[in-house]
Amino acid sequence: MPYPDTITLTNPLDMHLHLRDGEMLHNIAKGSAKSFSGAIIMPNLVPPVSTKEDVTAYKARILEAIGDERFTPYMTLFFKPGYDRTFLESVKEEITAIKLYPAGITTNSEGGVSGFDVEELRPALEAMGELGIPLCVHGETNGFVMDREAEFVPIYEKLAAAFPKLKIIMEHITTKESVAALDRFENLYATITVHHLIITLDDVAGGMLRPHLFCKPIAKRPEDREALLKVALGAHPKVMFGSDSAPHPRHAKESCGCAAGVFTAPIALQLLTQLFEHHGAPLENLQKFISNTAQNIYGITPPKKRVILERKPFTVPQEYNGVVPMYAEENIDYTIKEIING
């Protein structure tokens, strides 16, 4: 059944967002802050956000960049195996989660984890579990690009079994193997992007190469997309929206060394509404996917915000302050009509 011509989404959350820093932060932060109540902010800056001082300083820069927008940046630390309980207790009130990157696997992740020895990781991960600090993980190996995420699933399972008190968020999952792992371990959760619900590798490289759809993890096969759609559209209680919106300047995307990342933040809610309607998913499931489930998993209460969308064609701009979005210059079905704070 078609959605009403006007719909309201309440307190939308983006549970995986890149805001960058410096000029890029000021260019793109307001776009997310305007239409979302809050977001989990990724810490892979240069240098990474790895101390209490880093977290508070970066949060201050974000709040300055968004101005008077009603938006909570839920901060994260860049995981280091040397974090001990004393340090984690000292920083707990400043963060919502800690993000683990395998070394060198994605943008600015060179300082990440090499190898996943449970005993080496135990002091930090056990303390995180006892303190109620979730672990967000970019789950890829350095194997063949299409197999990297599926190869990482046994590592997720090893960590989930070794640290049952620890909430582990499988970030931006793209494979049917990751979806299947959700129901095997009570403490595994996941975020899914809007672009991975729409595209496959064929859209990226099946014809002319489309650099603005290139991301890590790379889009996979149709059967993987179907598995993602099933749990997202069905409002699986362990799956939430995380855009992984990753801005890069045009010259960094349209080059021989194309940077990885899809920029969707300004159009994510419109695309998700269009997608859920197209597949006949109940509107209440969209609300769960973009807010309610995340609140339950993370135990957060975001600022009150209502985003009113209307069925009105919207032409996606060619650029947002120098960053080319997904579907640039194409029409989508929904427009944001009004945003009401409070």
Structural domains of the chain in order of their starting residue, each with its CATH number: 6-341 (3.20.20.140)
Catalytic residue among 14, 54, 224, 244: 244
Element (H, E) at 202: helix 201-205
- Is residue 141 scored above 90 in pLDDT? yes
The residue behind tokens 């099933």 is: 230
Q: For the sheet with 13-17, list strands across it.
A: 13-17, 38-41, 72-74
What confidence tier does 160 reach under pLDDT thresholds 50, 70, 90? very high
* Percent of the chain residues past pLDDT 70, beyond the cut: 100
Is residue 21 annotated as a catalytic residue, yes or no? no
Bond preceding residue 47 cis, omega within 30 of 0 = yes
| pLDDT at residue 109 in the model | 72
Instruction: Tell me how far apart the alpha carbons of residues 159 and 150 are, in angstroms, rounded to a whole number.
Output: 15
What confidence tier does 68 reach under pLDDT thresholds 50, 70, 90? very high
- Are β-strands 305-315 and 331-341 bridged in parallel, bridged antiparallel, or unpaired? antiparallel
Tell me the mean pLDDT in the region 315-340.
Answer: 97
| pLDDT at residue 296 in the model | 98
| pLDDT at residue 144 in the model | 96
What confidence tier does 45 reach under pLDDT thresholds 50, 70, 90? very high
Instruction: Tell me how far apart the alpha carbons of residues 63 and 53 are, in angstroms, rounded to a whole number.
Output: 15
- Using alpha carbons, select from 2, 183, 48, 335 the residue that is nearest to residue 170: 183
What are the tokens at 247? 């801005």
- Is residue 140 scored above 90 in pLDDT? yes
- Are β-strands 13-17 and 76-78 bridged in parallel, bridged antiparallel, or unpaired? unpaired
Predicted TM-score (pTM) of this structure? 0.97
For all residues of the chain together, what is the average pLDDT? 96
Q: How far is CA 204 from CA 123, 210, 218, in A?
A: 41, 5, 9
| pLDDT at residue 112 in the model | 76
